[in-house]
Amino acid sequence: MSQIHVSTTLNGDPVEYLCEPDETLLDVLRDRLGLTGSKEGCGSGDCGACSVTVDGRLVCSCLVLGAEAQDREIETIEGVAQGENLHPLQQKILDHAALQCGVCTPGFIVAAKALLERNPDPSETEVRYWLAGNLCRCTGYDKIVRAVMDAAQEMRGA
Amino acid sequence: MLDKTKDPVAERDFKVVGTRPVRPDGVDKVTGRARFGADISAPGMLVGKVKRSPHAHAKLVSIDTEKALALPGVKAVVTRDDFAENKKQCDVLRNIMAREKVLYDGHAVAAVAATSATVARKALKLIEVEYDVLPHVIDVDEAMKPGAPLLHDDMITKGVDPEPETASNIAQRYEFGHGDVEKGFAEADVVVERDFKTAAAHQGYIEPHACLASFTPDGQGELWCCTQGHYAIRGFCADLLGMDISKLRVTASEIGGGFGGKTTVFLEPLALALSRKTGRPVKMVMSREEVFRASGPTASTSSRVKVGATKDGKITAGEAEFRYQGGAFKGSPVQFGAMCAFACYALENVKTVGYDVVTNRPKQAAYRAPGAPMAAFAVESVIEELAVELSIDPVELRLINAAEEGDQSSFGPTFPRIGLVETLEATKAHEHFSAPLGPNQGRGIASGYWFNFGGATSVSLNIQPDGTVALAVGTPDIGGSRASMSLMAAEELGIAYEKVKAIVADTASLGYNEVSHGSRVTFASGLATIEAARNAKKILCARAAKMWEIPEEAVEWVDGHARPAGANAGDFEPMSLADIAKVAEQTGGPISGHQEHNASGAGASFATHMVDVEVDPETGRAHVVRYTAVQDAGKAIHPSYVEGQFQGGAAQGVGWALNEEYIYNDDGRLENPGFLDYRIPVCSDLPMLDTVIVEVPNPGHPYGVRGVGETGIVPPMAAIANAVSAAAGVRMTELPMSPPKLLKAINAKKANGSA
Ligand code: FES
Ligand code: FES
């Protein structure tokens, strides 16, 4: 099985890699590019721990093939902070202690960021339904929802 | 009533403890930098995969690995032949790799190491296994029947006199209690007796089991894995591989949830064995399907509970029988269930009996307050029914009978200071308690108890030359414990939280540490941290005394400073921790404090939960609309993470109550090994989860800490069942109360009503 050559943009930088035709984008990110911030909780699109955006669209990277990234713009958790500056969502998650084990956290941040880019002023219900594809077993979601609402408010004010 | 003024802990004025700083590992966790089990690689690494049984029960006739080994890229295969018989770890050995028989769908039969995941997967298909399929049994009551398929020919029930002559699936019988229940029931005006069933639920941690093992030709091993207890993993692995404990170093990765499920070995010994055979590092990661089929969910149960009370609400007797299946090997948590069942109540006459039963399912692992939630579901449902029959408010009924300091518990010991009454009072005082309910809504209340554990703990606290502090603990941080350890160290030393950095050390760097389980970490590692800080303070004072040329006893530690005391008070400027640390080299060398002990005095923890549920009578769907969790934390070190534990327990309880279950088909195969069909609560399923932290100090801890991690999952199922029953007008006695079951019950009631 010959490998496929892919050129893409990852967190703003040009990247090239070779991957198997059946290799997922998640495996490429984690195993070939060393970006292990995206997690595999299920490999079947049910947990959202592998959330990334492709051309701004929120996807489960375990359901996307590495080869599909050709000429796209991929954003992962590693691209959310700008240098020393955490994104307001990252800061609010910390301030609200909206994580326990933290394995779901990258997925929630990527997903919530995609939400706030579309809807800067979501209701609690909108936040809950948007994040319904991200599983968290530790927190009961309470603090996560509060952190996202709080970040949204801060970002609107800024 | 408790006299708080007599309590030095309640009186203590905390400076740092009780605040809510950002956790030390926080930034790593929000930026994707934190390294979990599957996030590490090694040069030359191979990928390991496991071949698993498709049968629930079968003799393992033969395993042929020849074709797999011939596949290019395959470096090694291990099977039962690669592990020596081990009397001490007989069941663990058979669980990680089947020997005489496979005992459940998903049981490991071989493992392969190859140069890529693709090659490893192909190799699995080439391993030829011959099975002789046997009849199987999944249900706990079926497994107890005479003539049921036998899992272990030599299993003679323990705890029964006289000892049975024939083997069965019942590993052990337990009995607890005191008084005379027959007499108690005779005194009762009302007696309620019910049967209950609960389904097996999985801990559902989002991170699957993962490890990276490296074994060198000179017999040294290194293991990186996600675990709640790397010392325990080291012990199991060294034993199973026949190596010296000191030659195996285990490092605990960040852990993506455990809830009890990551307290034993699954992949780790296989990865080490493969690495030993190939001389290369081997990484193994479970798929979600493997996690469901082959790690350790909790027991499914069946039980009968009988409670009698007088007209004015005094419980005269409580009796229960619990039957828990713990999967293919003995060790279900039925003993804890039988002990915790009536722990909330001060009873004169109480008796509980428990049966530990084996079935053709994966060996259960601990799950948050193991065994207690199922027992509480049954008992607290009956208490609710009693309250209705007696027309007494359910909180009042509990208050009338609540266990307090000095009462003998239903399982033997006398309670020290406990906080059940305080949780009930706080529930009554909460605005939620009297809030109006909407149509088709019901409110349910339940209480719960969990012991909490202490255990072997080692901590080392190192004072750096710049006055900052490195704190090494050996209990993996499963929910923010590095923050609470840092808070306690800072409090004790009198320095800022930011000056302390806590890490989880590997097994070579500290003495033994028991697993992060039993809600023991904040209690036991916290206790050791405080003692380690106190030991460091003694040295700091001694160093100051040396510089001041006064006796050591003449120096005291106040507000982060060494101060001359007694006759010398005021003679010298107090020296801060940083001042002393800076010159440590000239005064005797590095300064550190450490503590190694068996922590005892873990304070029991009680909780009362209150929940409103709305039931759709058309579909049978129950939806939680409001939730309040009240729990005694003793002293909340980092209140946000304490609330988080309450909320997490409640949310898991909602899943267990309404949706989650292991579904087996007629062949004994698990039908729903994925998050799509094994449905844990998602964000849109839940409302905000209110919490009330009650603080009744634990006399066994200098700050009053009680463990908080587990009690929060004890009351939810009963509270929700009580709410659902009130909303739907039918008593639900089986978990999960999924829409089809609830609808059936509603329709049956309608049919009966109209008949
Ligand atoms: S790993 Fe992609 S959704 Fe779970
Ligand atoms: S914090 Fe552990 S899964 Fe969300």
Give the integer Cα–Cα distance in Å for B314 and B316.
Answer: 6
Least CB–CB distance from B288: residue in A41, A78, A139: A41
CB contact under 8 A, B647 and A49: no
What is the pLDDT at residue B755? 45
Give which of B382, B384, B389 is closest to B610, Cα–Cα. B384
Contacts of B586 (CB under 8 A, 6+ apart): none
Model pLDDT for residues B309-332, shown as the tens digit of each residue: 999 999 999 999 999 999 999 999
**Which stretch of A28-37, B182-191, B699-708 has the lowest confidence by average pLDDT?**
B699-708
Give which of B478, B462, B479 is closest to B470, Cα–Cα. B462
Model pLDDT for residues B565-598, shown as the tens digit of each residue: 988 888 899 999 999 999 999 999 999 999 999 9
Model pLDDT for residues A39-52, shown as the tens digit of each residue: 999 999 999 999 99
Model pLDDT for residues B263-312, shown as the tens digit of each residue: 999 999 999 999 999 999 999 999 999 999 999 999 999 999 999 999 99
Is the Cβ atom of B26 under 6 angstroms away from ligand 2? Answer: no
Is the CB of residue B337 less than 8 Å from the CB of residue B374?
A: yes
Give the integer Cα–Cα distance in Å for B323 and B301.
Answer: 6
Contact with chain B for residue A35, Cβ under 8 A: yes
Residue with tokens 């595999």: A40
CB contact under 8 A, B683 and A144: yes
**What is the rounded average pLDDT of the residues B114-139?**
97
Contacts of B474 (CB under 8 A, 6+ apart): B230, B231, B457, B458, B459, B504, B505, B507, B509, B510, B511, B512, B513, B525
The superfamily CATH assigns to domain B37-134+208-255+262-294 is Aldehyde oxidase/xanthine dehydrogenase, a/b hammerhead (3.90.1170.50)
Contacts of B649 (CB under 8 A, 6+ apart): B368, B629, B709, B710, B711, B712, B713, B714, B716
**What is the rounded average pLDDT of the residues B536-556?**
96
Is the CB of residue B325 less than 8 Å from the CB of residue B358?
A: yes
Q: DSSP code of A28?
A: I
Contact with chain B for residue A58, Cβ under 8 A: no
DSSP notation for B482-496: HHHHHHHHHHHHT--
Q: Which tokens sit at B677?
A: 């069909």
What is the pLDDT at residue B6? 45
Beta bridge partners of B356: B172, B324
DSSP notation for B200-224: ------SSPPEEEEEE-TTS-EEEE
Model pLDDT for residues B21-38, shown as the tens digit of each residue: 999 999 999 999 999 999
Q: DSSP code of B285?
A: E
Residues of B within 8 A of A92 (CB-CB) are: none
Tell me which ligand sits closest to the C-alpha of residue A147. Answer: 2
Residues of B within 8 A of A103 (CB-CB) are: 36, 205-207, 254, 256-257
What is the pLDDT at residue B522? 86
Model pLDDT for residues B504-514, shown as the tens digit of each residue: 999 999 999 99
Give the integer Cα–Cα distance in Å for B319 and B410.
Answer: 10
Residue B3 has pLDDT above 50, yes or no: no
What is the pLDDT at residue B8? 47
Model pLDDT for residues A103-150, shown as the tens digit of each residue: 999 999 999 999 999 999 999 999 999 999 999 999 999 999 999 999
Give which of B633, B610, B615 is closest to B696, Cα–Cα. B633
Give the integer Cα–Cα distance in Å for B416 and B420.
Answer: 12
Is the Cβ atom of A102 under 6 angstroms away from ligand 2? Answer: yes
Model pLDDT for residues A70-94, shown as the tens digit of each residue: 999 999 999 999 998 999 999 999 9
Strand-strand pairing, B248-252 and B315-325: unpaired
Least CB–CB distance from B257: residue in A78, A103, A128: A103
Task: Give B689-719 as a 3 state SS string.
Answer: EEEEEECCCCCCCCCCCECCCCHHHCCHHHH
Q: Give the SS3 label for residue A107.
A: helix
Q: Which tokens sit at B686?
A: 């839940």
- Distance in Å, CA B57 to ligand 2 centroid: 35
Model pLDDT for residues B457-514, shown as the tens digit of each residue: 999 999 999 999 999 999 999 888 999 999 999 999 999 999 999 999 999 999 999 9
Question: Has domain B300-452+603-751 been given CATH number 3.40.1350.10?
Answer: no
Give the integer Cα–Cα distance in Å for B514 and B660.
Answer: 30
Is the CB of residue A26 less than 8 Å from the CB of residue A90?
A: no
User: Residue A21, class by beta-carbon neighbours within 10 Å (0-12 exposed, 13-18 middle, 19+ buried)?
Assistant: exposed
**H-type alpha helices, B260-341:** 268-278, 288-294, 334-340
H-run or E-run covering B114: strand B108-114
- Distance in Å, CA B631 to ligand 1 centroid: 34
The answer to whether the bond into B736 is cis (omega within 30° of 0) is: yes
What is the pLDDT at residue A1? 62
Contact with chain B for residue A49, Cβ under 8 A: yes
Give the integer Cα–Cα distance in Å for B52 and B118.
Answer: 17
Residue B79 has pLDDT above 70, yes or no: yes
Instruction: Name the band, by pLDDT with cuts 50, 70 and 90, for residue B11.
Output: low
Dihedral, CA of residue B89, residue B95, residue B96 and residue B98, to nearest 10: 110
Q: Which tokens sit at B506?
A: 């590997």
Model pLDDT for residues B42-71, shown as the tens digit of each residue: 999 999 999 999 999 999 999 999 999 999
ipTM for the complex shown: 0.98
Ligand 1 site-directed mutation target among A50, A65, A77, A134, most atoms within 8 Å of CB: A50
Residue A132: how many CB atoms within 10 A of its CB? 15
Give the integer Cα–Cα distance in Å for B411 and B178.
Answer: 8
φ, ψ of residue B466 to 5 degrees: the values are -90, 10
Sheet strands side by side (includes B469-473): B500-504, B469-473, B455-463, B591-599
What's the mean pLDDT when you consider all of chain A? 97
Least CB–CB distance from B640: residue in A47, A97, A144: A97
Which one of B683, B684, B690 makes the best mutation probe of the A interface by having the most chain A beta carbons within 10 Å? B683
Q: DSSP code of B670?
A: B
Least CB–CB distance from A102: residue in B34, B203, B689: B34
Residues of B within 8 A of A20 (CB-CB) are: 118
Nearest-CA residue for ligand 1 atom 3 is: A45
User: Residue A42, class by beta-carbon neighbours within 10 Å (0-12 exposed, 13-18 middle, 19+ buried)?
Assistant: buried
Same fold, B300-452+603-751 and B454-599: yes
Q: Which tokens sit at B105?
A: 């769908």
What is the pLDDT at residue B754? 54
CB contact under 8 A, B257 and A90: no
Is the CB of residue B560 less than 8 Å from the CB of residue B494?
A: yes
DSSP notation for B508-570: TTSS----S-TT-IIIIIHHHHHHHHHHHHHHHHHHHHHHHTS-GGGEEEETTEEEE-GGGTT
B-facing residues of A in 72-131 (CB < 8 A) are 76-78, 80-81, 86, 90, 93-97, 99-106, 109, 124-125, 127-129, 131
What is the pLDDT at residue B4? 40
**What is the rounded average pLDDT of the residues B550-557?**
94
List ligand 1's pocket residues with C-beta within 6 A. A 40-43, 45-50, 60, 62
The answer to whether the bond into B465 is cis (omega within 30° of 0) is: no
HSE-up (13 A, CA, CB side) for residue B133? 10
Q: Which tokens sit at B727?
A: 């909303």
- Distance in Å, CA A47 to ligand 1 centroid: 5
Instruction: Name the band, by pLDDT with cuts 50, 70 and 90, for residue B724.
Output: very high
CB contact under 8 A, B38 and A49: no
Which one of A85, A100, A136 makes the best mutation probe of the B interface by having the most chain B beta carbons within 10 Å? A100
Residue A60 alpha carbon, nearest atom of ligand 1: 2
Is the CB of residue B611 less than 8 Å from the CB of residue B624?
A: yes
Percent of chain B with pLDDT over 70: 98
Residue A102 alpha carbon, nearest atom of ligand 2: 1
Give the integer Cα–Cα distance in Å for A153 and A139.
Answer: 22
What's the mean pLDDT when you consider all of chain B? 96
Q: Which architecture, in CATH terms, is B454-599?
A: 2-Layer Sandwich (3.30)
CB pairs under 8 A between A and B: 181
Instruction: Name the band, by pLDDT with cuts 50, 70 and 90, for residue B559.
Output: very high
Model pLDDT for residues B14-25, shown as the tens digit of each residue: 999 999 999 999
Residue B706 has pLDDT above 80, yes or no: yes
| Domains located in chain A, CATH noted | 4-79 (3.10.20.30), 88-156 (1.10.150.120)
CB contact under 8 A, B680 and A99: no
Contacts of B509 (CB under 8 A, 6+ apart): B460, B472, B474
Is the CB of residue B700 less than 8 Å from the CB of residue B416?
A: yes
Residue B1 has pLDDT above 50, yes or no: no
Handedness of CA B322, B326, B332, B337 (dihedral sign): negative
Return the domain boundaries, chain B: 37-134+208-255+262-294, 300-452+603-751, 454-599
Least CB–CB distance from B35: residue in A36, A42, A142: A36
Residues of A within 8 A of B684 (CB-CB) are: 125, 128-129, 131-132
What is the pLDDT at residue B319? 98
Q: Give the SS3 label for residue B499.
A: helix
Give the integer Cα–Cα distance in Å for A66 and A33.
Answer: 11
State CA B368 to chain mean position distance: 3
Residues of B within 8 A of A104 (CB-CB) are: 206, 256
Q: Which tokens sit at B694?
A: 């009650």
Ligand 1 site-directed mutation target among A31, A60, A134, most atoms within 8 Å of CB: A60
Integer-rounded Cα Rg, in Å, for chain B is: 27
Closest residue of B to A100, CA-based? B479
Give Cα separations from A144 to A129, B32, B261, B687 (angstroms). Answer: 13, 17, 24, 12
